[in-house]
Amino acid sequence: MRSQILYRIARGACVTAMGSVALATLCSCDDEEATTQTSATTTAAQQAPADTDAAKNALFNQMVYTIGKLASARVADPEITEPVREMLVLTEAYYNAIADKATGTLEKAKLALRIADITLDLTAFAKAETAYDTAQKDLDALPEAERKSREACRIQSAIYYGKAASLLSRRQANEALQWYEKSLESDLGIYKELAPAEGEKLPEGSVDPELARAATDVMSSYRCLGECQFWADDPEEARDTYSKGIDLAKGLDKLSPEMSIQYIKLLANLGNLESRVGNKQESLKAWLQAVNFCQRLYASNRRGDIRLEARRLFESLRPNVLTLARELQDEQAAQVETQTLQDSPAATPATSSEEPTPVPAPEGEKK
């Protein structure tokens, strides 16, 4: 059932992308006669908002980037692969349609990045590297002031990350390291602009969306760099990197849903590392913290995607905790066997005061 739903989502993304190509063609027409040659394009123009740029941006943000990313991240499912390939072809067609007039714009750089990301999702690693190089050229073509914008910095970080992921997927960990480090550096630059001053508490209520996004990106970068360092046979550096990401989360005292997921993954990765190097007690400690936070996150949120991910992480971690709990005869950890994810926060385990608090998404946020 899930694969059929994702198939329809991906198909919808392809159809919408095709509509965008038609819209780009419309925008490139120089006279009314050319505009009326294609009835489908004319219909799209009649239905589009007056602000064409806003219409194109909204369409691509929702379909090609948001839903398209959801589909392309699941290309291991054969029912999803072909629609994603079609989406890539159509996205490339849109890029070519706007190429001449969009040089030096964020739209073109962002679209080039999306093409590279889809290519990476399809595991065409060599082609993806070339696509990321194209995205870099489009980013470099921006006016100097715009290259320093927050959005441009995010694009830059994503390019670095994509190049690193492509290399690591081909087991070239040492070559990937520099790109993960650059991605982290870029994310930290954005985060430091938005982070509260040392010792300052976040305001009551949900975490500011811009800060949440920046912190999520930094924590993800710490996690990916740590993984790469481990595969490059440097567990000490990996441990230090994971710890920095975990400390950043604890320093914020509360975490948005997306930040909470990254926090759990950092703890899980730290536990994996300690297990592989033989530090069983430290491994159990990290895994148990991750399991407990999964329960707290599940209890404090009503977002279906967050609860689903919290459940997935909880179920993947619990066997590891139970195995070590029995081996080390740890009664507290062994209690995980009878624990389940509950809606009531009162049903979740108590944690230390150093642990950050997972907070739900703000009212009105898209689910």
Q: How far apart are CA 261 and CA 54, in angstroms?
A: 32
User: How much is the pLDDT for 331?
Assistant: 84
Closest Cα partner for 273 from 222, 336, 326?
222
Q: What is the identity of the amino acid at 244?
A: K
**Assigned token pair, 263:** 């926090």
Q: Mind listing the pLDDT tens digit for each residue in 221-260?
A: 999 999 999 999 999 999 999 999 999 999 998 999 999 9
pLDDT top residue among 23 and 14: 14
Instruction: Look at residue 69 in the predicted model and tell me its pLDDT.
Output: 66
Q: In the CATH scheme, what is the code of domain 103-186?
A: 1.25.40
Q: Does the pLDDT of residue 349 top 70, yes or no?
A: no
What are the φ/ψ torsions at residue 255 (nearest 5 degrees)? -130, 140
Mean pLDDT for the stretch of residues 296-318: 92
Spell out the SS3 assignment of 171-237. Answer: CCHHHHHHHHHHHHHHHHHHHHHHCCCCCCCCCCCCCCHHHHHHHHHHHHHHHHHHHHHHHCCCHHH
Please state the rounded mean pLDDT for residues 18-38.
38
pLDDT tens per residue across span 285-300? 999 999 999 999 999 9
Residue 52 clears pLDDT 90, i.e. is over it? no
Task: Select from 352, 359, 355 the least CA-distant residue to 253.
Answer: 355
Q: Residue 83: which residues within 8 A CB-CB, separation 6 or more? A: 7, 10, 11, 13, 14, 71
Q: What is the DSSP letter of 149?
A: S
